[in-house]
Chains A and B, each alone.
Chain A
Amino acid sequence: MSDLLSDEVPQDDSMEDVMTPSELISKLEEAWQNEKFSPELLQNKSEVVECVMEQLTHMESNLLRVKKGDAKASIHRMEIDRIRFVLSSYLRSRLQKIEKFFPHVLEREKSRGEGDPSLLSPEEFAFAKEYYANTETYLKAVALKRMPPNLQTLNMLKAVPEPYLDSFVFLRVKERQENILVEPESDDQRDYVVDLEEGSQHLMRYRTIAPLVSTGAVQLI
């Protein structure tokens, strides 16, 4: 990262560890790739999003102070644009999945336990609820209310398909894992179990490694 960021960087109090700007951007890029390649919506990373937004504002204001025509300015501008692209792409990925699986996403959020981390940020939750209400109101107004009495509601959870968790994903292992169950015991074979070595890359069913994505043990690529 350039000297644009090396001057006093605002640190967000809500973050547990103090991160350098480049660590923050790495975290953003990891979250972005995971979200892009995962078939289901992943846990929200709103602290990362907030910090990156702050970072961008800081970089933009620094850029205003740089002499016009200075060659550094265009490189800094490019850096800002790149980060903004990754952030926008990350948020778009999430919105698309929220819209695609809206009843299931809302159901998961409603039924999570007290201490469990939330899937959606408060703003995403509001957006998801509005999308649900908007769509339901629309279907009722344009067709459902004109149908026979016993057919005037639609079970959204049944009508909207769920994410396909058995799709295959590429991943890189960050922390060594042992005894990952790939295929359970069947008539033809015993339990098919593998060890995942650090740094190795694999192509597997998402369902098998889903928990490892949330802990950060693997990175989807």
Chain B
Amino acid sequence: MFCEKAAEMIRDLQRMNEGQLPAFNEDGLRQVLQEMESLYEQNQTDVNEAKAEGRADLIPSIKLRHTCLLRNQRCVSAYLYDRLLRIRALRWEYGSVLPANVRFHMCAEELQWFSHYKKSLASFMRSLGSDGLDVTQDVKPPKSLYIQVRCVKDHGEFEIDDGTVILLKKNSQHFLPRWKCEQLIRQGVLEHVMS
């Protein structure tokens, strides 16, 4: 039946948890585009014949194929756009450098989109006030000034506001200003210890 592949693409994507980006379904997309090309060609033939021979009985099939073409276009657009939304969420969650395993799942055009998106976001943030404001920080309301964190993996040296340098070695615990740790916590380098 027509449009099954397109619907399958969407179902597979929907099955993934929110925030997960599966590999780009290049194969599925190609199949849908091929189906669209074939439907279109059949319609071209029928339209010409309907006009030339006055065959009004061809019109219902023409309409059906056209509806399938529109549906395929809609499904493909939905699939692609949903992936963009997941990629956008990655910028807010992980920052502007994506982990390699995620990049591997993105097609070249998606990487381009991501690159333009983060540039656009950066210019917006820079335009705020005189020095800019990083709106991807301060995601949770501040509860306390300093938090206890444990280092989950080696991260090397880390400088805090008053100039002191901390060595973030695996399993070391530190009492650090909350605002400095936010990004590292999101990246999985530090872990907030709540006692």
Residues of A within 8 A of B (CB): 49-50, 53-54, 56-57, 68, 74, 77-78, 81-82, 84-85, 87-89, 91-92, 95, 99, 123-124, 126-127, 130-131, 134-135, 137-139, 141-144, 146-148, 151, 154, 159
Given contacts A147-B36, A154-B77, contact A134 B116 (CB under 8 A): yes
Q: Is the interface of A mostly helix, strand, loop or mixed?
A: helix
- When the two chains form their complex, are residues B141 and A82 in contact, meaning their CB atoms are under 8 A apart? yes
B123 at the binding interface (Cβ < 8 Å): yes
- When the two chains form their complex, are residues A68 and B138 in contact, meaning their CB atoms are under 8 A apart? no
Q: Is the interface of B mostly helix, strand, loop or mixed?
A: helix
- When the two chains form their complex, are residues B179 and A151 in contact, meaning their CB atoms are under 8 A apart? no
- When the two chains form their complex, are residues B112 and A88 in contact, meaning their CB atoms are under 8 A apart? no
| 8 A-B pairs with the lowest CB-CB distances in the bound complex, closest first | A53-B129, A148-B40, A130-B120, A81-B142, A123-B127, A142-B109, A138-B113, A88-B138
B148 at the binding interface (Cβ < 8 Å): no
Q: Which residues of the partner chain A approach B117 to less than 8 Å between Cβ atoms?
A: 131, 134
How many of chain B's residues touch chain A, expressed as a range? 35 or more
Whole-angstrom CA separation of A127 from B131 in the bound complex: 18
Q: Which residues of the partner chain A approach B40 to less than 8 Å between Cβ atoms?
A: 148
Residue of A nearest to B74 (CB): A159
* Residues 115-142 of chain B, each 1 if its beta carbon lies under 8 Å from chain A, else 0: 0110011011001111101110111111
Q: Quick one: which of B88, B109, B128, B162 has the most chain A CB within 10 A?
A: B128
Q: Which residues of the partner chain B approach A139 to less than 8 Å between Cβ atoms?
A: 77, 80-81
- When the two chains form their complex, are residues B113 and A91 in contact, meaning their CB atoms are under 8 A apart? no
Q: Which residues of the partner chain A approach B81 to less than 8 Å between Cβ atoms?
A: 135, 139
Whole-angstrom CA separation of A146 from B127 in the bound complex: 38
Q: Which residues of the partner chain A approach B162 to less than 8 Å between Cβ atoms?
A: 68
Q: Which residues of the partner chain A approach B129 to less than 8 Å between Cβ atoms?
A: 50, 53-54, 56-57
- When the two chains form their complex, are residues B135 and A138 in contact, meaning their CB atoms are under 8 A apart? no
Whole-angstrom CA separation of A81 from B177 in the bound complex: 11
- When the two chains form their complex, are residues B137 and A88 in contact, meaning their CB atoms are under 8 A apart? yes
Minimum C-beta distance from A184 to chain B (A):
34
Whole-angstrom CA separation of A138 from B179 in the bound complex: 35
- When the two chains form their complex, are residues B112 and A138 in contact, meaning their CB atoms are under 8 A apart? yes
